[in-house]
Amino acid sequence: MKKLLLLTLSLLFTATIATAQEFAMTDGSFVTCSGDFTDSGGLAGDYTNGEDFTITFCSPFPTDDVQATFTLWNVGSGDILLAYDGDTATGSPIGVFNSAITPTVITASAANTSGCLTFRFISNATSTGPGWQATMACIDSCQTISNVVTTVPAPDGDGILRVCQGETVSFSATSTYSVDGTGATHEYRLADGTVVSGTTASQTFSGPGIYEIDYVTFDSTGCRDRLLVDVTVLVSTTPDFTGTLAADTSLCFGESTTISGQVVTTQFIADVAPPVTGQTFLPDGSGVAYQTCIDVTGFNPGTTFQSGSDLVDIFINMEHSYMGDLDITLTAPNGAQVELLNYPNSGGGIFLGNALDDGTTTPGIGFDYVFTESAGGNIRCFYSWSRWRNLYASR
């Protein structure tokens, strides 16, 4: 009997899927000035019975006010969405919405020092619906502050500064203001965490890597520029000179020899923090689909998979009391799908994790399951302590 499935999915990429960010209703807090806020079913599915989730949206800029503009609204009778003017669901809500009352535009008030909005959604046990979609934005009441950072050495034509290990980069900056720059202050937030006050700074980069520098300008009211990365520095790796040989191993004074050089560049690989979803609660039900969204960050806009092998692994932390009734699918924004577990399958009554089969919805203890592609396009699942089962034959 199916009781509960808790999923925590993470993906490791050498490239990623380009997609607009979607925030499905769940317990959590997010810092954003864009994206779609939806019910737990996402843009394509319905929410479920018995939900009680609280979500908070804040801006990365403390002087902003978060705004939610609802473009779709369709909830079942008795289900309610509460909106709070702040970063917690405490006090009196500024809006209560149900099947008869539709939200439109909700904005954090001027008295709200956090600038955040918090939403709590409660669904009853008898009805569901398509839910909602809202566009998230940040309202900026500050003047426009623009910075120009100049570096020595200068960046390449693509705007990226490329240097060798041990090289020192000097920074200098100027600022312009749409209203007034009187009393403005400036600081560099360097890649090593150092903060340097003023309009000039320098940093020596001793190791290979990708480094981001933020030059911050505050006006007299506390407003700042809105560019979070002003300079990106790529520091080279150490090349491999194995195979470089001289024609002669010993020479007398005044003699010469020929040296044949060989060099192989060393690839730099940056570990990007894997995107992780929240928990997905799956109540008992036959033929009902539930989904959670994986928001991928850490790559340039428009970056896409170049091949199927770019998707390295999928991790699911899961507990479930009956494997035989599961069908698990990973869907890309363009609609392409990978079946991780087909239904029907031969899993039968196999327990995943330490699932509780006691008639309650109390979660048990999830185990980590790693899905990876093997030869022939097969998907294999490896258990957390080296046991594995072939869950999927071919795709």
In a domain, 300, yes or no: yes
280 and 392 in a single domain? The answer is yes
Determine which helix (DSSP H) or strand (DSSP E) holds 250, and give its type and residue range. Answer: none
In a domain, 228, yes or no: yes
pLDDT, position 88: 95
- Of all residues in the chain, the percent with pLDDT exceeding 70 is 80
CATH code of the domain in which 108 resides:
2.60.120.290
126 and 158 in a single domain? The answer is no
204 and 99 in a single domain? The answer is no
pLDDT, position 133: 96
Last residue of a domain, one of 141, 175, 201: 141
Q: What is the average per-residue pLDDT within 124-146?
A: 93
How many angstroms separate the CA atoms of 29 and 231, rounded?
A: 28
Last residue of a domain, one of 84, 107, 141: 141
Considering the entire predicted model, what is its pTM? 0.59
Range(s) of the domain holding residue 61: 20-141
Could you tell me which residue, 207 or 278, shows the higher pLDDT? 207
How many angstroms separate the CA atoms of 5 and 284, rounded?
A: 10
159 and 137 in a single domain? The answer is no
pLDDT digits over 195-241, tens only?
Answer: 999 999 999 999 999 999 999 999 999 999 999 899 999 999 999 99
137 and 194 in a single domain? The answer is no
CATH code of the domain in which 223 resides:
2.60.40.10
In a domain, 252, yes or no: no
In a domain, 3, yes or no: yes
Nearest to 368 by CA among 346, 349, 345, 387: 387
In a domain, 210, yes or no: yes
222 and 336 in a single domain? The answer is no
44 and 102 in a single domain? The answer is yes
Last residue of a domain, one of 235, 261, 292: 235
288 and 195 in a single domain? The answer is no
Q: How many domains does the structure of the chain reveal?
A: 3
Work out the burial of residue 345: count CB atoms within 10 Å of its CB; fewer than 13 is exposed, 13-18 middle, 19 or more buried.
Answer: middle
In a domain, 83, yes or no: yes
68 and 134 in a single domain? The answer is yes
Beta-sheet pairing, 28-31 with 52-58: parallel
Whether the CB-CB separation of 330 and 316 falls below 8 Å is answered with no
373 and 357 in a single domain? The answer is yes
pLDDT digits over 81-131, tens only?
Answer: 999 999 999 999 999 999 999 999 999 998 999 999 999 999 999 888 999
